[in-house]
Structure 1
């Protein structure tokens, strides 16, 4: 088989195409560019996807792992050359529950289907091997280099060293014999343990039948004795009933007499209250409440009077403050006007007197000049000028002196030193005047409130006393009225108590009468019982319970005996089972002998199997390691050991380095391919980063071997390294491709 082209919408592949050549194909790509996805797609296009596989811890089913990232359905195509001709294989998804389940195989370039080629048998028809064999031989992953055992692979290996038929598998035969052996006995399960359990159950049933018969006889005897005991205790309980009936009649008579006496006492108290004209409880409560309210009103009166007295004191203090002022006797407005009449400065200040003084002095000078000149104006100067000059100088000075004297006396009278202080004093006097008026108004209001409350108190007291004197003429003051009301309340309470006692006595009598029917009265006084009713009832209950339990036990034992099979039938069944057990034990021994014989045959077959595969694996392993190892041995479970050159001691695979171990596994895989894969099918080999742990020298040896092996079949080597491509650079026999990201075309 030769693959020419693959186109996939699978996982991260979005319609990507991969072209392949004959021989060795080196497919280089970085990590996460779809190499493993291409390998999985190749497996899926040939063998399909298991839609029944489910995710589990640490594992994701292929149908979920490779679901296209874009959300579209899985699909793909592969063009290839096979022994059937040039074919085109396609798979698509019609139903989401069956990914890649729509299969078609046609001859390339036509729509003619390939007869007999189906989706389930495509891979096995084209490659000649099942999916399990392909995955364990030619499909080599880095994390899957080791070979696991499989019945199909085992049959193909066995065919190489036996008759050539592929229908023999030691694993399947051993498993079938083991199932038959386990069917007869496996620990506590199987046919033999079941028979032994049934025999033991039969023995138990026979023993139980004898034991139940004895227990039933004992239970019936116990039930008869308990029935006699119950009858005796019932007679004792009937005697208790007769004595208690007599006691109830006596109690009823006492209760009737007590009820009559209580009702008579209540009637007497009620008549006495009517004669004394004692008011009802509602009237008493209302009047006593009114008295309580009087106390509240009296406290309010006292408080109002106290507030009135405080207001009068405040008024006196305000009047005293007004009278102590220098403005006493004046109104506030008069005080303001009096203070405003005093100017802040003299009538003629110096600045205003300077012109007059200047004119007076000028007139005086002119008068003197006129006198000295002795002219006609002399007489005028003496008569007019001199007086005018003297007047202009003296009059302002006199006026200022007089103002100063009067002002000083006025300010001194009021105890201030300036007109500004006088006006401030007048303003303070006005505030004192207003405070006195406010105090007067407050005192008047408080007096009116106190008088109103007092009048209310007096009126309420008179009303209460008038109403109380209707039934208590001696109530002339509130304390006496309150005391009389208290007495009335006590007498009303006494009436309520005796009436309540009468009702309770009558209720007790009626209840006792209901509990003592007339027919329940005994003819004569019975004797008192020896035991209390509680003790007798408890004894009767215990006896009845014991009797019921004994009868139930007897019934249960009877049912058990009826449920058990006839002892004779049980013995016959036991004999048949013992015979059957002997036959199964003989079969068990025969199967064990067959398994031992098969094991010896398998050992002999291994002696023929291991050398052939080990020899071919050793040849490849020697080429891969540069003849460092010369031998390889393995058993049918593919457990490996390697023999170093010159050292006869085989090394277990677990002791090798990671790289050498991968090389050993690869050698065995390639040896299996040589021995197991049908040569006429030329099955391609797929390697996914299988050389990742190889050093450069052994990687080169592996590449040379793969190129040589590619002469007979197509080999696809996917790698994340560039050394493989560099190794074959310029070699025209090797196809080298450098893949881009899986989201782009390859």
Structure 2
């Protein structure tokens, strides 16, 4: 059997890669981390599937998770191979859905013609290669730095060798083995005739658990749905609370603007009163000055008339004396003078009354200057008016400061509010320029709308919380159900695999009874010795494995039997490589010739041993396909020198 073609659609770091191989010597060459080990794992996965489940104790993920594609949604690929009889097959595997399809050369799907495992799908590789996954892994599938086989691997390989070579040696032994296998099949799995077999009981319990899980999943989905709604309502509530906070700031802005307009109006009125008072005060001062001038003039006239009256009286008295003494006509002059004096006195009296009136008027005007009269009933204290104006100016500045602070708060809240789904009328116009009555009206509309929405959201939140409390879902029960389901699925898978394995064992046992083999030890040791002699240039000629496949060799320097573990790392690798190849040849003798896959198998070899091993692999490639993965250019160059055009070099 040899692999013709690999098509990796998506596997680990590799996607969209096709590799053509030949039935001979193949080298897949690439730098470190180019994906060589990934390709080797892809081959194994395509043949036997990938194990899923949980991570190991050291945290290493299972292969199914480890090789999930990095850059592709298609987790799988295609492998095409040809059997020794010339039959060609094509296998398509999807690791994501755990599905596999097998086609013959005419693309007839023949998947159902093989035993089916729930975990691995069709067991075509076991059927065609004659190797189960463990034997394949311990013989022809050599991973990087794993030429040596661990204890479990040695036990598996040894048992496999014994099964192939010894089963059926004695008829009695064969019958006992056959009976034991059938009893084990009946006891651990059951047969088609049993109704209460372990597998039937597991399937019944699985059905019950699946119904329980279905109910729990429905409840869990309902919880997730309600929690999602609740989260949405809580988010909506936060948005509405922010909007309410914004509206409260706008309400404060409206109130401050109202107070500011009143203050501005009052300030304006006071300033107007102050101007009017100033005007009246100036007029009163002018009138007072004019009155003062008139009073001064009246006083001067009164004083002049007094002097005149006194002169006339004196003159009249002199004229009277002159009339009495000298001339009687002087009495006429005295009378005229006296009359004139009387007229002057009367005029002076009138001026005195006018002067008194003007003095009274002056007093009133002087009082008016101190407290100007705006109306018949309104007297204004100028000093008090100045205080009122200053107070109004301070209040105006304080309101403007508060207004500016309020606008800053509104801007800060506005930037943080999500208005998606809301249309606020207050922002139709500029908050500072809009009409106050219109702003009040729009603010009332927006506040009522948001308050109604907020009440509805609170109601929805309470309804969601009530619904959450009413759903009896227990995550611990769900986890326990899942764990029990997983455990039973694993048991079922194990029983199905056991069923398939036991049936295969019966078939193999029947076939093996026809081939009596008891020379496993000598055959294995003889073949190993030949291989180790070939790849060490004849330095080691006698290599043997004990009952547990622990290797011992005759030391060419001392001639003593030496355990392989005390030899150099390169020598140990070569010895275990010889063991793997020899075991593979014995196990597959008379069956398919299984390809040999080696990943960096020569990493610890020096140049001489590398060349000898490559020459051996080139010889082996004439009988079985060899696929060597390497990052060493020197190994490629050696192989090209040895194999020439026969070498299929694949660069990745």
Q: TM-score, normalised by structure 1?
A: 0.38
Q: TM-score, normalised by structure 2?
A: 0.43
